[in-house]
Structure 1
Amino acid sequence: MRKAPSARLLVFAKAPVPGRVFRRLAPALGAGDRVRLHMRLTAATLERLAGAGPWRTRLYAAPPAGAPFLRACARRHRIPLRPQHGRDLGERMRHTLEEALAGGGPAVLVGTDLPERGPESVAAAFRALAEGADAVLQPTEDGGYGLIGLARPLPELFRAIPWGTERVAAVSRERLRAAGAEWRELPATWDVDRPEDLARLDPALLRGLTPLAPQQGQPPEALDPTNG
Structure 2
Amino acid sequence: MYRRKRLELSGRDPFMKTQLIVFTRYPEPGNTKTRLIPSLGPEGAAILQQRLTSHTLDIVRTFQRQVPCTIEVRFAGRDATAMQAMFGDGMGYVPQQGTDLGERLCHAIDEAFQADSDRVIVIGADCPQLDATTLQMANRLLERHDVVVGPAEDGGYYLIGLKSPQPSLFREIPWGTSRVLTETMKKIDVQGLSRKLLSPLSDVDYPEDLISCRRWPQLLEGILPAYDANRLSIVIPTLNEVKNLAETLHAVNSRCTSEKDLEVIVADGGSKDDTVQIALQHQAKVVQCKPGRGIQLNAGAALASGGHLLFLHADALLPFRYDEVIRNTLHGKTIAGAFRLKIDHDTPGLRLVAQLANLRSRFLQRPYGDQGLFLRSQTLYEVGGFRNWPLMEDIELGQRLRKRGRIAMADVSMTVSARRWRKRGVVRTTCMNQAILLAWRMGISPERLALWYRGKPVSSS
Measured against the shorter chain, the TM-score band is 0.7 to 0.9
Does residue 191 of structure 2 align to residue 191 of structure 1?
no
Determine the C-alpha separation between the residues in 2 that align with 1:195 and 1:158. Answer: 27
Does residue 113 of structure 2 align to residue 101 of structure 1?
yes
Determine the C-alpha separation between the residues in 1 that align with 2:177 and 2:95. Answer: 25
- Partner residue in 1 for 2:77: 63
Describe how 1:12-161 pairs up with structure 2 within 5 A: 12-50=23-61, 51-54=64-67, 55-63=69-77, 65-66=79-80, 68=82, 70-73=83-86, 76-102=88-114, 103-131=116-144, 133-161=145-173
Structure richer in helix, relative to its length = 2
Change (3 A) 1:73 1:47: farther
Shift of 1:73: 4.7
Change (3 A) 1:215 1:124: closer
Q: Residue 64 of structure 1 contacts residue 85 of structure 1 at CA under 8 Å; is this kept in 2?
A: no
Runs of 4+ that moved beyond 6 A:
none
Query: Taking CA–CA contacts closer than 8 Å with sequence separation of 6 or more, which of the two structures ends up with the larger relative contact order?
Result: 1
The letter for the 1-side match of 2:172 is A
Shift of 1:28: 1.0
Determine the C-alpha separation between the residues in 1 that align with 2:20 and 2:13. Answer: 11
Determine the C-alpha separation between the residues in 1 that align with 2:175 and 2:202. Answer: 16
Q: Residue 141 of structure 1 contacts residue 190 of structure 1 at CA under 8 Å; is this kept in 2?
A: yes
Shift of 1:19: 2.0
Which stretches in structure 1 are left out of the alignment for 5+ residues? 218-228
Change (3 A) 1:203 1:128: same
Structure richer in strand, relative to its length = 2
Per-residue CA distance 1:99-153 (angstroms, 9 max, x = gap): 112213000000100001011111111111122x111100011100000011011
Shift of 1:214: 2.2
Q: SS of the residue aligned with 1:28?
A: helix
Change (3 A) 1:28 1:147: same
- Partner residue in 1 for 2:350: none
Does residue 81 of structure 2 align to residue 9 of structure 1?
no
Shift of 1:66: 4.5
The letter for the 2-side match of 1:154 is Q
Determine the C-alpha separation between the residues in 2 that align with 1:63 and 1:88. Answer: 15
The letter for the 2-side match of 1:53 is Q
Shift of 1:43: 0.5
Identity %: 36
Determine the C-alpha separation between the residues in 1 that align with 2:27 and 2:288. Answer: 28
Q: Residue 202 of structure 2 contacts residue 212 of structure 2 at CA under 8 Å; is this kept in 1?
A: no
Shift of 1:67: 6.1
Q: SS of the residue aligned with 2:75?
A: strand
Determine the C-alpha separation between the residues in 1 that align with 2:86 and 2:56. Answer: 11
The letter for the 1-side match of 2:79 is A
Q: SS of the residue aligned with 1:45?
A: helix
Aligned length: 214
Does residue 286 of structure 2 align to residue 214 of structure 1?
yes
- Partner residue in 2 for 1:220: none
Which stretches in structure 2 are left out of the alignment for 5+ residues? 1-11, 226-264, 266-284, 290-461
Determine the C-alpha separation between the residues in 2 that align with 1:197 and 1:42. Answer: 16
The letter for the 2-side match of 1:136 is V
Q: SS of the residue aligned with 1:58?
A: strand
Which of the two has higher C-alpha Rg?
Answer: 2
The letter for the 2-side match of 1:214 is V
Determine the C-alpha separation between the residues in 2 that align with 1:52 and 1:173. Answer: 31
The letter for the 2-side match of 1:87 is T
